[in-house]
Structure 1
Amino acid sequence: MGALICAGITSLDGYIADERGDFSWGRPDSELHSFVNELERPVGTYLYGRRMYEVMRFWQTADTEHELPDAEREYAEIWQDTDKVVYSSTLTEVQTPRTRLERTFDADAVRRMKSEADRDLSVSGPHLAEHAFRAGLVDEVHLFVHPVAVGGGTALLPRGIRLDLELRDERRFATGVVYLRYGVLEAR
Structure 2
Amino acid sequence: MGRLVYAANISLDGFLEDETGAFDWSVPDEAVHAFWNEHERGIGTSLYGRRLYETMRVWADDDWLVGEPDVVREYAEIWRDTDRIVYSRSLTEVSTPRTRLESEFDPEAVRRLKEESAADLSIGGAGIAVEAFRHGLVDETALLLCPVLVGGGKPALPRGVRLDLELLEQRRFDNGVVYLRHAVRNPG
Per the shorter chain, which TM-score range?
A: over 0.9
Percent identity of equivalent pairs: 58
How many residue pairs align between the two structures?
Answer: 187
Q: How does 1:53-72 map to 2 (within 5 A)?
A: 53-61=53-61, 63-66=62-65, 67-72=67-72
Corresponding position of 1:139: 139
Q: Match of 2:6?
A: 6
Contact 2:139 2:187 in 1 (8 A): no
Structure 2 segments unaligned to the other structure (5+ residues): none
Aligned to 1:169, what secondary structure does the other structure show?
strand
Distance 2:187 2:10 in 1: 20
SS at match of 1:37: helix
Q: Is the contact made by 2:59 and 2:79 (CA closer than 8 Å) also made in structure 1?
A: yes
| Cα deviation code 1:23-51 (max 9, x no counterpart) | 00000000110011101101000000000
In structure 2, what is the equivalent of residue 19 of structure 1? 19
- SS class of match (2:129): helix
* TM-score scaled by length of structure 1: 0.97
Secondary structure at 2:142 match in 1: strand
Amino acid at match of 2:150: V
C-alpha contact 2:134 2:161 (8 A) present in aligned 1: yes
Counterpart of 1:138, as a letter, is: V
Deviations 1:31-86 (A, max 9, x none): 1100111011010000000001000101111x433331111110000001100000
1:91 is aligned to: 91
CA RMSD of aligned residues (A): 0.9
Gaps of 5+ in 1: none
Q: Cα offset for 1:8? A: 0.3
Cα deviation code 1:129-167 (max 9, x no counterpart): 011011100000011001100000011111111121000
Checking the alignment, whether the CA contact within 8 Å between 1:43 and 1:121 is kept in structure 2 is yes
Any residues of structure 2 matched to 1:54-133 within 5 Å, and which?
54-61=54-61, 63-66=62-65, 67-133=67-133
CA contact (8 A) 1:162 1:187 kept: no
